[in-house]
Amino acid sequence: MIKKLYLLSLFILPLATFAQLENVKSTLEIYNIETNKREIVRSEEAHFEAPNWSRDGNFLVINQDGKLYKVDLKTNKKTLINTDFADRCNNDHGISFDGKYLAISHFDQSGAPEGETYYGGSRIYVVPIEGGTPKAVTPNTPSYWHGWSPDGKQLAYCAERNGEYDVYTISVDGGEETRLTTATGLDDGPEYSPDGKIIYYNSMASGKMEIWQMDVDGSNKKQLTNDAYSNWFAHPSPDGKSFVYISYHEDQGSGHPAMKEVSLRLMNLTDGSIKTLCSFTGGQGTINVPSWSPDGKRFAFVTYEYFK
């Protein structure tokens, strides 16, 4: 059912890809934490991914066909975001805490041989939220954005360096990157707590994919989940009291494939209790990036189904 898969490196990655799935219906939904109800925002017989909720609460950002779009929550109108040359964007994108900028991960074509369409790897850029010319941040590829620091000065991301996938941070102005994890196997999905003191991430450090946390300097690493699920992408609520994450019902190793049976779950950070919110077909593209509403009452996600 996969029409074509464009890898962001010269070998298979367990990370974000610029991929198009054939005969897939994508449904953009909102989950209300207070009512435990789901609301459908938009459905298309096409493949889109990874909603971000704007800081003013008025729109969602999704990626589709290598481009980024705003979906207006009042009119349901979908509008292309001008990202200039960056037209091979994957599902690792997100809005700064002040709402002024958008971090994107674009398949960098610099230095590509003639006739080679997909070359190199994902590079992180920053562009004004209203659109414009992206500014490169990470000097090395592949790099996959996942989090803004609350003060807007740092970006957290997953990157492959010398065959190892780890969590890094870097100044939004670029420069030297800082490596925060060194465990063998994949470390991915870093996201800052609202107070900027903690980074949540998912890691294979215990032998299977679980949610972890660490201080922003990489110290005091602590495993938070430990169950039969394969757990990915912890997104802390705006009040910092909980986080929502996606759980594969079957162990996926270090991968997070599409079109699998998954659940969205909520961990209470006060007592460590976990609540299953809903289950559906999803995975890659469902909730890769921060998607909470500014008031912390709702979050956005994508479900998928095949059609004939």
CATH of the domain at 13: 2.120.10.30
Count structural domains, the chain.
1
Q: What is the domain range of residue 108? A: 2-306
Task: Write the CA distances from 124 to 92, 121, 141, integer angstroms.
Answer: 9, 10, 9
pTM: 0.92
CA gap 165, 167 in Å, rounded: 7
CA gap 172, 180 in Å, rounded: 17
Task: Write the CA distances from 52 to 130, 238, 302, integer angstroms.
Answer: 14, 13, 11
CA gap 245, 61 in Å, rounded: 19
Residue 120 · residue 112 · CB < 8 Å: yes
> Quick one: residue 162, left, alpha or beta (phi over 0 = left, psi -120 to 50 = alpha)?
left
Give pLDDT tens digits along the chain (308 positions). Answer: 222 233 333 233 444 555 678 789 999 999 999 999 999 999 999 999 999 999 999 999 999 999 999 999 999 999 999 999 999 999 999 999 999 999 999 988 665 556 555 556 899 999 999 999 999 999 999 999 999 999 999 999 999 999 999 999 999 999 999 999 999 999 999 999 999 999 999 999 999 999 999 999 999 999 999 999 999 999 999 999 999 999 999 999 999 999 999 999 999 999 999 999 999 999 999 999 999 999 999 999 999 999 87
